[in-house]
Amino acid sequence: MSDFQIIIDRVTALTRFTGKGILFNLNYMPDTILGGIVLFALLLQSVPLALLGVSLFSLEFVHAGIAAFLTRAIPGLNEAAKDVARCSGHFPGISYERATATLLSEGTLKTLSVSFPSYYIMFFGTLFGYMFAMTQTYEKELEKMPQKRAAVFSGAIIMALLSAMFAIFRIGTGCDTFLSVIIAALFGLLFGFTAEKLIAFLSGRTLTNLMNVPLIRDTAPDGKPIYVCKKE
């Protein structure tokens, strides 16, 4: 075998391995992103980042509740899952969602379906909803910082495009239906938006400040109004 053929074979094998690795990680992207957020929250000691992680982790419980309600309210949704391990959006193993489905429904893990609405898409809907809410929460600050504002809106656009690509991937691989994707995206957007607004309201906008922008205040820390002298 020639040296050239050996190189071609190795490049081909590496390409196939890389492709399989990308597809594998795409199946578990929500857990991958959540793990990254938790890791960076610990390394950077960032409370806003940690609260974003908590919000995304709580989606595990919210999604299980929504899925249980919808499958009981709408006949025909609770059909057998095609591939729970690949399509759940979670790393292989036990999750709250799977444990709840096992306890509340008849059958085994392989035959249960907790895929409606799609947890995978709801995760990205929540993340996008959280980011979109931040643009409104810090609207005054971003207006004074054009470069930061452009970066934030660019990030939101990229997030929307990635979410659309992930939705196409899920439908194309047979894990989700179009209806499941739409319902999950709407619930995710609502949950993410509400979570950010609630945290911002309770913390005075300090614990959702992932952008670390200086906050514009109407009052001083002691509650007295801030007066700005007019420039002559």
Can you give the pLDDT at residue 98?
54
From its phi and psi, is residue 10 left (phi > 0), alpha (psi between -120 and 50) or beta?
alpha
Measured CA to CA, the distance from residue 44 to residue 77 in angstroms comes to: 42
Provide the token pair at 231.
């420039």
> Which percentage of the chain shows pLDDT scores above 90?
11
Domain residue limits, the chain: 3-203
Find how far residue 135's CA is from the centre of its chain. Answer: 17
pTM check: above 0.85: no
Average pLDDT over residues 129-154: 84
Q: Which of 202, 205, 184 is nearest to 127 (CA)?
A: 184
Instruction: Between 4 and 97, name the one with better pLDDT.
Output: 4
| Maximum Cα–Cα distance across the chain | 85
Which tens digit of pLDDT belongs to each residue from 178-208? 888 898 899 999 999 999 999 999 888 888 8
Which stretch of 31-40, 160-169, 193-202, 212-221 has the lowest confidence by average pLDDT?
212-221
Interval 147-175 mean pLDDT: 83
Could you tell me if 123 and 188 are in contact, meaning their C-beta atoms sit under 8 angstroms apart?
yes
Q: What is residue 18's predicted lDDT score, i.e. its pLDDT?
A: 73
